[in-house]
Amino acid sequence: MAFVAFCQASGYTYLPATTETVACYLGFIFERGTVAPGTLQSYLTPVNAVHALMQMERPAIGPLLIALRHSYARAYVNLTGGLRCKRLPLPAAVLLRFAHLGLTTADAGLRRRLAGLVMTGLTFSRPGGGANLRRKDVTLTGDNIKVQIIDNKHGARTDRERILIDVPRRGDGKHDAPFRLVHMHMSAVGMATADGDQPCFSPVGDLRALPTEVATVWMREALYMLDVHPPDGGVYAGHSLRAGAVTGYRAIGGELDVCAQLMGMKDKSTDVVSAAYVDALAVANDAARELYDRFLRAQR
């Protein structure tokens, strides 16, 4: 869809597309400045796949594309000063501030977007899976939010089983701003529409799927409003929510195998969770406890 939109805006033919058109698309992606060379293939594979499905020659392969990708990598390195910024887990304290902002703002649109970020963090989701939850995927009770996460990778649904997560309210009258924000927003969605296909974090009546990048856009809006900046050499992006959730849960004593289950990792691989998501230097704090000690109680 992104490739088609680019071609329509630029006056190019998208089916069949030429290698030269794909080269221009790479230039467009480069100008955005947000796509690292290592993730470039996920933007090209769908273009090839559709052409192969239509029995057309795939345009995003061959010597020219190989040379362009090498050039893209060199230009990206020059642009970022030699080393690209490291994507960091979003600190639990920042996600908790998102929840408090969502509860106090009078802007309904901002509250909806912040609820989407908090829900994604509470459910250990990939950005696409959290952003595209539908009304029928979420069930509310007084003290629980039951969520069915459809596995969503590289902006597309996969055929894996749904991930079922029960998000309980913290007990004993403890502060629980994240639960309150998400529960309040989902209650409002339920009262506004009976359509089960209504995306939870889109305006009511808009049934279009949201792109994966929307989580990054929402996050940068919230970070700007709260004047939060990543450490030097780091960057916060949509996947920072998932890494932040795992890091926060692990810091307060959560087990790696539970992290893998909550994340829906294939074969529940704790090695991948530990190596790719957990910041081993993170320390436990009150924000992490408010967000994630609910799952420690659920274990017991």
Residue range 71-121, pLDDT digits in tens: 888 888 777 666 667 889 999 999 999 999 999 999 999 999 999 999 999
- Cβ neighbours for 272, distance < 8 A, ≥ 6 positions apart: 260, 265
Q: Which residues of 249-280 are buried (b: 16+ CB within 10 A; e: fewer)?
A: bbbbebebebbbbbbbbeeeebeebeeebbbe
Lowest-pLDDT range of 104-108, 127-131, 245-249: 127-131
Instruction: Give the pLDDT confidence score for residue 249 in this predicted structure.
Output: 95
Instruction: Give the pLDDT confidence score for residue 154 in this predicted structure.
Output: 46
Q: Which residues of 154-185 are buried (b: 16+ CB within 10 A; e: fewer)?
A: ebeeeeeeebebebbbbeeeeebbbbbbbbeb
Instruction: Give the pLDDT confidence score for residue 156 in this predicted structure.
Output: 47
Question: Average pLDDT of 33-45?
Answer: 83
CA atoms within 13 A on the CB side of 205: 0
Instruction: Give the pLDDT confidence score for residue 176 in this predicted structure.
Output: 95
Domains and CATH numbers, the chain: 1-80 (1.10.150.130), 87-295 (1.10.443.10)
Query: How far is 127 from 275, CA to CA, in rounded Å?
Result: 19
Question: Average pLDDT of 46-75?
Answer: 89
CA atoms within 13 A on the CB side of 36: 11
CA angle 48, 51, 57 (to 5 degrees): 90
Q: Is the bond preceding 16 in cis, omega lying within 30 degrees of 0?
A: yes
Bridge partners of 156, per DSSP, are 153
Average pLDDT in the chain: 88
Residue range 144-196, pLDDT digits in tens: 999 998 754 544 445 556 788 999 999 888 999 999 999 999 999 999 998 99
Query: How far is 182 from 145, CA to CA, in rounded Å?
Result: 9
Query: How far is 16 from 33, CA to CA, in rounded Å?
Result: 27
Bridge partners of 149, per DSSP, are 163
Burial class from Cβ neighbours inside 10 Å (0-12, 13-18, 19+) for residue 244 reads buried
Question: Average pLDDT of 275-279?
Answer: 86
Residue range 260-272, pLDDT digits in tens: 888 887 666 788 8
Instruction: Give the pLDDT confidence score for residue 151 in this predicted structure.
Output: 58
Instruction: Give the pLDDT confidence score for residue 24 in this predicted structure.
Output: 92
**How many other CB atoms are there within 10 angstroms of residue 193's CB atom?**
12
